[in-house]
Amino acid sequence: MLQKPLSVTFEDRPTPSLDSPYDVLLQVNYTGICGSDIHYWQHGRIGHFVVKDPMVLGHESAGTVVQVGDKVRSLKEGDKVAMEPGVPCRRCVRCKEGKYNLCADMAFAATPPYDGTLAKYYTLPEDFCYKLPAGVSLEEGALMEPLAVAVHITKQSGVKHGDSIVVFGAGPVGLLCCAVAKALGASKIVSVDIQENRLEFAKKYAATATFVPAKVAAKENADRLVRENDLGLGADVAIDASGAEPSVQTAIHVLRMGGSYVQGGMGRDEITFPIMAACTKELTVKGSFRYGSGDYQTAVDMVASGKVDVKSLITRKVSFEDAEQAFEDVKAGKGIKVLIEGPK
């Protein structure tokens, strides 16, 4: 539990009760550590979300059903599920038009004032639990959250079979965007990062090519990327999963007329942006926020069918008691994804 910045504690808390007949009580088995957890831990806030009261961290979890409400039909005790950690109001215009990730009344795990999933038990509505098919482990289940992020970003991009795509950033989400683009049939997938070792992983993992930007103007990097990868008049799609200003700029310049760009990475509030290139090339630039209708299910399907491999992103697993050390390691950039077990 995050008491205040830099101060986490372990607490015994009462087992939550089922508020609704549609709810399910879950024992949490694995929870991945995300950059946002690290950020709350370090700074106590992300943008206008401020941790005022002590808050449980964690939102990348898989668990086991221990109790179901009276009206639950699709789940039973013992089922293993991936846990979608944000529950919308279901009543506003955004929810009813099929964009529940844009709901203004979303209750999202580990976003103040809502507790996260790094706890023994957690309750969720049945329809935000995704039963893991045979052959998909609980560890993989915990990875469905970043994969759903990547699925949403990639769907936002509109990438189609045969398209070329450039993905900036080779952290967990960038890598998963490459994998999703591959599953959707992208023909060329260029992974861009400043760390060579990440690109080596990306190449083996899902990218068809890699690119290390030089310390030159964004346009110059973009031109070289297009040339080296034989992208003709430019890439069809570009995704930023880095949040870095030069990545965004390069991405805009790398696109062809009518290309599509998605901002997936979080970074500075304002950046210098090549707006006239976006205008005269008639680009479509979209933000991507969390995940929405169908994204978690797509994530589960892609792993179950073997199209996306999430296992190889799991660097190591630590016990609940070692969680704080794991936070330190993630902050230091060690490994790709660390899972916290239990607590038991």
Q: Under the criterion CB under 8 A, does residue 266 sit at the interface with a second copy?
A: yes
**At its nearest, how many Å lie between a second copy and the CB of residue 213?**
18
Q: Under the criterion CB under 8 A, does residue 272 sit at the interface with a second copy?
A: yes
Q: Under the criterion CB under 8 A, does residue 22 sit at the interface with a second copy?
A: yes
**At its nearest, how many Å lie between a second copy and the CB of residue 194?**
19
Q: Under the criterion CB under 8 A, does residue 248 sit at the interface with a second copy?
A: yes
For 194, 235, 288, the CA distances from 246, given in Å and listed in that order, are 11, 17, 19
Judged by CB under 8 A, the stretch of 1-9, 29-37, 121-129, 331-339 that binds a second copy is 121-129
**Contact residue for a second copy among 257, 321, 324, 325 (CB under 8 A):** 257
**Smaller CB separation from a second copy, 1 or 92:** 92
DSSP three-state, residue 158: coil
Judged by CB under 8 A, the stretch of 90-98, 136-144, 220-228, 335-343 that binds a second copy is 90-98
Q: Under the criterion CB under 8 A, does residue 98 sit at the interface with a second copy?
A: yes
DSSP three-state, residue 55: strand
Residues 24-53 that bind a second copy (CB under 8 A): 47
- Alpha-carbon distance of 170 to 176, in angstroms, equals 9
Query: What is the residue-wise DSSP string for 164-229?
Result: EEEEE--SHHHHHHHHHHHHTT-SEEEEE-S-HHHHHHHHHHT-SEEE---SS-HHHHHHHHHHHT
Q: What is the DSSP letter of 311?
A: G
**Contact residue for a second copy among 78, 215, 276, 332 (CB under 8 A):** 276
272 Cα distance to chain centroid: 25
**Smaller CB separation from a second copy, 108 or 320:** 108
119: phi then psi, degrees, rounded to nearest 5:
-145, 170
- Alpha-carbon distance of 88 to 66, in angstroms, equals 23
**Contact residue for a second copy among 79, 127, 220, 329 (CB under 8 A):** 127
Q: Which amino acid type is present at position 164?
A: S
Residues 166-185 that bind a second copy (CB under 8 A): 183-185
DSSP three-state, residue 248: helix
Are the C-beta atoms of residues 229 and 163 closer than 8 Å to each other? no
**Contact residue for a second copy among 25, 274, 339, 341 (CB under 8 A):** 274
**Smaller CB separation from a second copy, 80 or 182:** 182
**Contact residue for a second copy among 7, 212, 233, 319 (CB under 8 A):** 233
312: phi then psi, degrees, rounded to nearest 5:
-70, -5
Q: Which amino acid type is present at position 149?
A: V
Residues 277-296 that bind a second copy (CB under 8 A): 277-289, 293-294
Q: Under the criterion CB under 8 A, does residue 217 sit at the interface with a second copy?
A: no
Q: Under the criterion CB under 8 A, does residue 70 sit at the interface with a second copy?
A: no
Q: Under the criterion CB under 8 A, does residue 264 sit at the interface with a second copy?
A: yes
Are the C-beta atoms of residues 297 and 130 closer than 8 Å to each other? yes
Burial 13-26, CB ≥16 within 10 A → b, else e: eeebeeeeebbbbb
Q: Under the criterion CB under 8 A, does residue 97 sit at the interface with a second copy?
A: yes
Q: Which residues bind a second copy (CB under 8 A)?
A: 22, 47, 90-102, 104, 125-127, 156, 161-162, 183-185, 187, 233, 248, 257-258, 263-264, 266-289, 293-294, 297-298, 301-302, 305, 307
